Every structure is written in structure tokens, then in C-alpha cells.
Amino acid sequence: MTVTQLLFGFSGRLKRLPWWIATILADLGLGIAEAIFGMPRPSVFFLLLLAVPLIWISIAVQVKRWHDRDKSGWWFLMNFVPIIGWLWVLIECGFLRGTPGANRFGEET
């Protein structure tokens, strides 16, 4: 899997370590950009050049992690469930192993 496919594609599977690395780096990037460009009134530069690609990367990486768990990528919507959603995503994507061998989303990487 190339870096472009890893960061921007929605197909395939992804193990826990690359998910952790991409998630931490994207969150760190958003935090740094927020500190530099300021919130609550973000600049257009921040929104278009930094926030949108970092959010896209976060979603793409999480979708591939759900695929590794043999679940639909639409499970990323769990992030929007109040209180328990983020915890569910953290446990499922960050700590539970993907399905061994091939599943409907491809071979184990």
C-alpha cells in the first residue's frame, strides 16, 4: 500500500499500528494548526489547506481499520454518538485485532 493509498483511499485493510500513527499525527496536526491559526474564528487558509485534508485522512484511515475488523466503513459514524461513540471507536480500532486471513475487504496485510 502506497502512502497516498494509505492516507487518501478508502479501500483495503489497515492494522492497528499504522492506524495509531496516522490518527495521532492527524490529531497533532489539527491541534498545531488550531494553535497557530486560532479558533473560534478559523481562517479560510486553515479550513481549506489544513483542516479538510487532515479530517479526510482521519476518516480514510479509520474506514480501512473498520475494514480490517470486517465491518463496513460506515462504522466511522460511531464517532458522532455522544459519550460512548469515541470509546467504542477507540476499543474497536485501537485495541482489537483485525480478522485473521482474508475477509470481504481483502487480504490481511
Q: How far apart are CA 47 and CA 62, in angstroms?
A: 21
What is the model's pLDDT at position 53? 86
Q: What pLDDT score was predicted for residue 106?
A: 92
Measured distance CA(75)–CA(85) in Å, rounded: 10
Helical segments of the chain, H only: 3-8, 16-37, 44-45, 52-68, 85-89
Query: Any residues with CB less than 8 A from the CB of 24 and at least 6 apart, and which?
Result: none
pLDDT in tens, the chain (109 residues): 788 888 899 999 999 999 999 999 988 887 877 777 666 666 676 667 777 888 899 999 999 999 999 999 999 999 999 989 999 999 999 999 999 999 999 998 7
What is the reported pTM? Answer: 0.85
Would you state the pLDDT for residue 104?
93
Per-residue confidence (pLDDT) for residue 59, from 0 to 100: 94
- CA 9/CA 28 separation, integer angstroms: 21
Cα–Cα distance between 78 and 62 in angstroms, integer?
A: 11
State the cell numbers at 97: 485485532
